[in-house]
Structure 1
Amino acid sequence: MTRSMTAFTRQSLDTDQASLALELRSVNQRYLDVHFRLPESLRDLETPFRERLRERLARGKVECTLRLESSAASDTVAINGERVEQLMAALTQLRSHAPEAAMPDLMALLGYPGVTDDRGPDTDALRRAALELLTAALDDLDAGREREGERLAALIRERLAGIRGQVAEVRAHLPDVLARQRRQILERLETVRAELDPQRLEAEMALLAQKADVAEELDRLETHVVEVERQLQQKGAVGRRLDFLMQELNREANTLSSKAVVTETTRCAVELKVLIEQMREQIQNVE
């Protein structure tokens, strides 16, 4: 199935500790090029993120942005009650020995080791949540790339039908074109026929007719059209193959144009180039 390289997704996940939001944005690129924007506390996720992206995507420039917002509960200062009771008991005992000494204020008590619970967020849990979020985001991005790829394939098939129509039109005119060319050559040489060897004249006319015969170019155009259609039905990345086929189609269209001796063939060759260029623009976004 044809997939586009252009897509966007945004997924979010709330945990007891924080809210996570992940954005994936991809555009066309000749190879896979990934850029990350991660919170400093989760910077070590870049390697597993990159590995998962490589498993799912073959081409495209991908921007991966992860945002982390701590929940109110995780920002609350927790008091270790047991530690505070131990500290107050020690202060009471100390005051019995030094009654003239001033008692420490509350801010000083908060700074005493063990009074506050400063364990911080569970980064392992946050990493697991972020990886889960990436899986959901990749699923959604894949679905978007496939939907866009189907639209691209439909546009390409429309142009393929147009190429088939132009090839059929040239084939229909081909016998008349060759006959008309022969008549034109005979008319031009009528005045000097007496001075030329009849056999040599016939040979030259056959050579000119062979050069103007575009049947082989038409056959190759049809063959390339069939191959493009086959590639559109393949799984995986086919963008590079399609781009190569566009070059081959354009080569045959140029040859057809150079051999054109009547306006009908010239017009068809120009229309072929237009259709091929339109396909090539669409194929730039195919993975």
Structure 2
Amino acid sequence: MPTGLPTRSAPPSCSSYGELVGQVLDGAFGPDPRTQHIALAFTTRQAVRHSGRTGGYRNEVFSLRLGAAVGSCAVEPGALPDSAIDACVGADVAQLLHHELTAVRVAALDAYLLHTMEHTAAHGARPLTLAAGTSLEKSRARAEAVVELLDLAPGRTVLVIGVVNSLLEALRSRGLRYVPCDLKGGTTEWGEPVATDAHAHLDHCDAVLASGMTLGNGSFEPLREHALRHAKPLVMFAQTGSAILPRLLGAGVTAVCAEPYPFFWLDGGPGLIHRYGGPGLNHRHGGSS
């Protein structure tokens, strides 16, 4: 995704999400965000029930376009007011990083960082093409790519925050145990109860596999701090914040599977995801590898 901006091979080190926001506002990652204006704001809604699966779900994602970059943050379906879209169009990034809605702040930060630090090898990314296929085929292919970033022996336990049945299926195939957790609760495809309080299970897991949606609901920083404090693997699968989370590698985040808009579920053609960190891969604090 060319931006016409100079490539930064050594991004600043960031020890927390808050520090990352502060550095962006200070211009450490590129042009002054007060000079960068959002051209387009939109939402994407979907309902899905994969063939062969007993349950389905709905998703809604709020997105902002800055140049060629699209930053995104998942929201609860129906929770985002239409006024948020109108308020973002034409606004500068610095304004939106102070917006009252978390989803707007996250999408703005994601758009800015993707605009200035696109997913390239120079910034630590390793691209992986998802083959064309059905929604379930592509979901399973993405799940395999995510789970490969975990470095665990069979029998270990993974806390999965943001239940995706294809991810659970991939963990099962590797002999890994898991605790599924999602604010919605419910059950998994295999009838397992889904916990709603992730933090109650942190001390009883060997690794954490979490959705970028944790950025939008405010639960990410406690996860990052726990992982850092206990030297516990924290692997993020990120449609929300795909350009944000790689900047926190080494600050509690172990690896990231970044999937910027358009997401795999939007069409049946080939797709592209980008992986950072993972087993046997050295990375510097701040996201460059």
- Structure with the greater alpha carbon radius of gyration: 1
Fold conserved between structures, TM > 0.5: no
**Between structures 1 and 2, the one with greater helix share:** 1
TM-score computed with the length of structure 1 as normaliser = 0.18
Structure possessing the higher relative contact order (Cα contacts under 8 Å, 6 or more residues apart): 1
